[in-house]
Every structure is written in C-alpha cells, then in structure tokens.
C-alpha cells in the first residue's frame, strides 16, 4: 500500500462510467437455525476471541467486531463475516476524494450544483442548498459529520462512479469489500452487495490513519479526522462505551431496519490508539436506542479485554 498505487488506480478510473460489480468470490455460507449466514474464515495471524454470544442472545441479531492496538493481538468476534456497511462507507469516500485532491484531479473549492433531482432521503445539508452550489470540501464534511446522502452520491459520481470507489479499496489493499449501489439503495440487504467484514474495515482504518505508509498526506488525514471527531451522530454507540477523557474519531452507519454500525479510531489520554470496527445487525423489533446500546456494551467489553480501565 502506498500513495502512488492508490492514486494510479483512481486516476485510471476518474472518468469511468459506473459499471457492473466485479465478479468477486462470495463468502462461504452456513445454515444455522434455519438462517443462512456467512461463514467466518480465520486468517493465520493469532487473534483473541471476544465472546459476544451472550450479548447477541440478550438482544437478538448478530455482532461483528475487530479491535486493533499496537502491541496486542487483534480482538475479534465474527470478524470475517460480512455486514452491510450503510453510511460508514462515507468516511472511505471522503478519503478517496482527498486523494484525488492531492493528485490535482479534484479541488477542495470546486463548486458542485445542487438540484432537486439530486435529492434522496436524509439531506440535511444539500436540501437547503437546492438551486445553488456547495464546494467539494463542504460535501465531504456533510457526508462524514452528518451523513448527507445526496452529497455522497454527488461525490461518488465526481470520483468516477462505483468502479472508482472499488479501485480506492483495492489500492489500499482491500480486495474483499463490495461496492454495488448508490444511496439509499446500498442500505438494503441483498446477498453480499455493499458489505464489508469487521476485520477488513479495521485494517483499512489502521492503514489510513495510523500506518506510516498511509496514502493520505498529513493535511488530508488531519482534515478527515477533524470531521470524524466533530460528528454529532451516534452518541449512544462507541462514544457511550469509552471512559471520560477519551477522544473518538468515528463514522456511523444505520440501516433503519436493524443494521447499526460505528467505526473509527479511539485515542486514550495515554497509550496507543485503538482502531475499531463494530457492525451490529439487530432485529426489526428493537429501537435505535437499544441498538446503539448494544454497540456501547460491546465497546465496554472490548476495553476490558484490552486491559483498559473504564
């Protein structure tokens, strides 16, 4: 993974039209209790299992989690199973856009016209701007901080479409994440479409923000982290499970029918940061607050397993 390989891949696809999804190998599946689920495939690197089965049994649904911290073994639960990522992808979309800005193919201050035809559900920033323009910088801020869906679609198209987004993932060493649809269709469950594994997501985040070989230049990384720190969403998720004094740079994703996700980097007052990806596919009968509380509980259990006092 290096900046040149990522930028080369994006540059080649900058003007490409959206094509069909590449033929990617589907996850092996197993049937349990009448339900078909992806089968976890364990990598050879040593990991520690964080048993979240009791939490799942108490609330229903399925939790996937990977926590990475330098000097400690990865802490995982269902880390190789696939989960629909919902709006967590918008953090990656902003990173891909920042790389195009670094290469000179895009500009922070370029104005993009906002029209009624662009509107889909959840448009807190773009709907008031109909008839006017918003800069690329404002659109990126809107997708990371408040998850504006039309802004995400506009940036995806400016990037070069779905194929260019796939190229970004491949350029950072992610060969498994699926990119198939625009907002809001990407939130709908349809096999492996628009899914990611907790292991891959946590690895991607570490590669972007903590690895010295990150393709992001320091100003780009600082800008993206600033939006993630400033996001007001998901206060009942990761943020609710960390001790006072911790800083959380994160991006949430919500499916509206159970999927409730949160990913990012946790910075304690002292010690190494923790890269975390938590995906919870809850049941329809539960409320948003209940689903968020599951992530907060998983967060507390993660910190306890890492030896971090609450």
Q: Which residues are catalytic?
A: 87
DSSP-derived secondary structure letter, 92: H
Which residue shows structure tokens 């060969």? 175
- Its sign, for the CA torsion 266, 268, 274, 277, is negative
Q: Are 145 and 106 in contact (CB under 8 A)?
A: no
d(C-alpha 197, C-alpha 296), whole Å: 19
Q: In sequence order, what are the residues at sequence separation of 6 or more whose Cβ sits closer than 8 angstroms to the Cβ of residue 12?
A: 167
Q: Are 156 and 165 in contact (CB under 8 A)?
A: yes
Region of 226 on the Ramachandran plot (φ > 0 left; ψ -120 to 50 alpha; else beta): alpha
Of the candidates 119, 154, 117, 115, the residue with the CA atom closest to the CA atom of residue 138? 154
Q: Token pair for residue 92?
A: 């990656």
């Amino acid at each position: 993974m290096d900046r040149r390989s990522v930028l080369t891949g994006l540059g080649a696809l900058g003007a490409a039209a959206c094509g069909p999804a590449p033929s990617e190998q589907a996850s092996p599946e197993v049937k349990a209790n009448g339900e078909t689920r992806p089968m976890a495939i364990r990598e050879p690197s040593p990991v520690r299992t964080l048993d979240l089965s009791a939490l799942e049994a108490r609330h229903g649904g399925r939790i996937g989690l990977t926590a990475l911290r330098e000097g400690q073994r990865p802490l995982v639960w269902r880390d190789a199973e696939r989960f629909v990522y919902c709006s967590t992808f918008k953090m990656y979309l902003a990173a891909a856009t920042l790389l195009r800005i670094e290469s000179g193919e895009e500009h922070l201050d370029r104005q993009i016209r906002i029209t009624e035809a662009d509107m889909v559900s959840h448009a807190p920033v773009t709907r008031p701007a109909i008839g006017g323009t918003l800069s690329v910088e404002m659109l990126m801020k809107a997708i990371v901080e408040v998850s504006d869906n039309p802004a995400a679609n506009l940036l995806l198209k400016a990037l070069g479409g779905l194929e260019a987004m796939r190229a970004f993932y491949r350029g950072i060493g992610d060969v498994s994440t699926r990119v198939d649809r625009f907002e809001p269709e990407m939130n709908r469950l349809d096999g492996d479409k628009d899914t990611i594994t907790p292991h891959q997501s946590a690895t991607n985040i570490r590669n972007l923000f903590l690895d010295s070989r990150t393709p992001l230049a320091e100003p780009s990384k600082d800008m993206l982290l600033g939006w993630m720190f400033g996001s007001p969403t998901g206060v009942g998720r990761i943020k609710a499970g960390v001790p006072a004094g911790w800083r959380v740079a994160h991006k949430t994703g919500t499916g509206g029918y159970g999927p409730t996700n949160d990913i990012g980097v946790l910075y304690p007052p002292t010690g190494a940061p923790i890269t975390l990806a938590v995906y919870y596919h809850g049941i329809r009968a539960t409320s948003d607050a209940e689903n968020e509380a599951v992530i907060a509980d998983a967060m507390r259990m993660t910190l306890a397993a890492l030896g971090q006092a609450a």
